[in-house]
Amino acid sequence: MNNQAFSKIWILFIVVIFIVGGIFIWQFQQPAEEESELPETEKPEVEIQEGKVNEALSICAKIKDAEKKNICTGIVNGDLETCESLSEGKRLNCYVSLGRRTGNSSICERFGSEGLKYECLARLTEDYDKCEKSILESYCYYDVAILKGDSSGCEKITDEELNNKCLAYLERNSNYCQNISQEIGSSNCYVHVAMLGNDSSVCQKPMRYKDLCQSMVARNISGLNCEAYGGYCEFFAGFTGDDSVCQKMISGDYCYHDAAMGLLGVYPPEVPRGW
């Protein structure tokens, strides 16, 4: 009897140990509950971004042409089907804008042309090597250098004038502008450098549009003759994200588009863009 009682007690003890141990292990294997929301300190950044998106959408709404308005709105919303109605050549800038807005470089795979695909990928991945397979190598190197903010990349550009423009913009050095042969081209270079460097002294260089240059650097919209110099006003809108200058243009559709993209920082204003 005593041995049987002892055996039963011993078995009961072992069972209790297994049960307690199992509960102990189960508790420690349960994943910690994830916090249901982000810390309060991270919320304002999201709200600010959403505010910018809403503001950019309100700018797109001012575009009169229906197709251009849809493209502007689609890029701001990150709609990957936005560019499909455009011709293949025009889709390049649209894809790049959309890719930079969404961080999605796979959109470039939609190109049938290898040259356009690699031009697109080079600009979205900021990879010089991909420019070797692009359609226009020099312009590809220019775009990537500007997007990276890398003046050393300008040395890859074989087109001399484009090389000088690249160096002028990235180094904020107007001396390179004098190496551009055509007066319109050099004047354009001076205005861009003055704006990028916020340096009104550049406006005193031998160039056209000195008054226009001064007004742009001073952010004096009333001094901008946008009917005569629409391209500069579009640059101003893209650079500042301020669409009020677009109202001064006969047709402000491109200007509003650039202002919306500039507001979101989709691309630097030095990068050529289009529809």
Query: Each residue of 142-158: pLDDT tens digit?
Result: 999 999 999 999 999 99
- Output the pTM of the full model: 0.76
How confident is residue 270, by pLDDT bands cut at 50, 70 and 90? low
- What local confidence, expressed as pLDDT, does residue 23 receive? 47
Most confident of 19-33, 55-69, 216-230: 55-69
- Tokens (6 digits) for 25: 């292990």
Of 14 and 161, the structure prediction assigns the larger pLDDT to: 161
pLDDT score at 109: 93
Q: Is residue 117 predicted with pLDDT exceeding 90?
A: yes
Mean pLDDT score, 128-145: 94
- Assess whether pLDDT exceeds 50 at residue 47: no
Given this model, what pLDDT does residue 64 score? 95
Q: Span 171-196, mean pLDDT?
A: 93
Domain boundaries defined on the chain? 80-158
